[in-house]
Chain A
Amino acid sequence: AQTVTQSQPEMSVQEAETVTLSCTYDTSESDYYLFWYKQPPSRQMILVIRQEAYKQQNATENRFSVNFQKAAKSFSLKISDSQLGDAAMYFCAYRSAKDKIIFGKGTRLHILP
């Protein structure tokens, strides 16, 4: 069965600095998709970034980028120029081409002014 592990329950970063959130997963599938979702205090789940496993190029969305290491089954999220509005719970998620989506337990990110 597929699993998603986020080993950092909480992290803090100074405003304007860069922070990296870790995520590892386990799967025997070759075709799958990886996501990072953000859940701010409002509890709304917001898609941050998506990565297709067949793409070697790392996905980027403005200040958010990923480091996708397929062989190592690692999918970390880098947030550059951290802003106060980035404070949230971040969930890593895995979805195979034919299966349900599996979420990690989340990393709570604090932004220090």
Chain B
Amino acid sequence: DSGVTQTPKHLITATGQRVTLRCSPRSGDLSVYWYQQSLDQGLQFLIQYYNGEERAKGNILERFSAQQFPDLHSELNLSSLELGDSALYFCASSVGLAGQGVQYFGPGTRLTVL
């Protein structure tokens, strides 16, 4: 158990809908990262937050947005969902900003768009 929690575990929805994925980082970790992993693909970095502020953006679509709240939990919002958005979405957390911070991954949320 990495200490990072993600809810829900599974999510099934229809095209055009909007969903929210939730992540709670490990105790003491200030950075939260979101990744997308499509079937048999590597991980694509989406976005990073540090202590409530956006720090880095990757290949995140405009239909997707995220935020980190004062209690450090984070939410990833996916809207106008398309079939191609079906994937495993991981949240990871680390203590700080710098590269030496090991990222610990949550169990992921499996999103299926029908």
Binding site for A on B (CB under 8 A): 2, 33, 37, 41-43, 45, 48, 56, 58, 88, 90, 92, 97-100, 102-105, 107-108, 110
Contacts and interface: CB of A to CB of B under 8 A. Distances in A.
A72 interface: no
Contacts of B41: 105
Contact of B98 (A47, A98, A102): A98
B99 A32 contact: yes
Given A35-B102, A43-B88, A101 B108 contact: no
Main secondary structure of the interface of B (DSSP, over half): loop
Nearest to A102: B45
Contact of B56 (A35, A43, A99, A105): A99
Interface residues of A, number: 26
Interface string A25-45: 000000111010100001111
A80 interface: no
Given A91-B43, A102-B45, A44 B99 contact: no
A34 B30 CA distance: 21
Given A45-B90, A45-B105, A101-B33, A96 B99 contact: yes
20 contacts: A31-B99, A42-B107, A43-B108, A43-B110, A45-B43, A45-B92, A45-B108, A47-B102, A52-B100, A91-B42, A91-B43, A95-B99, A96-B99, A100-B33, A100-B45, A101-B33, A101-B103, A103-B45, A105-B41, A106-B42
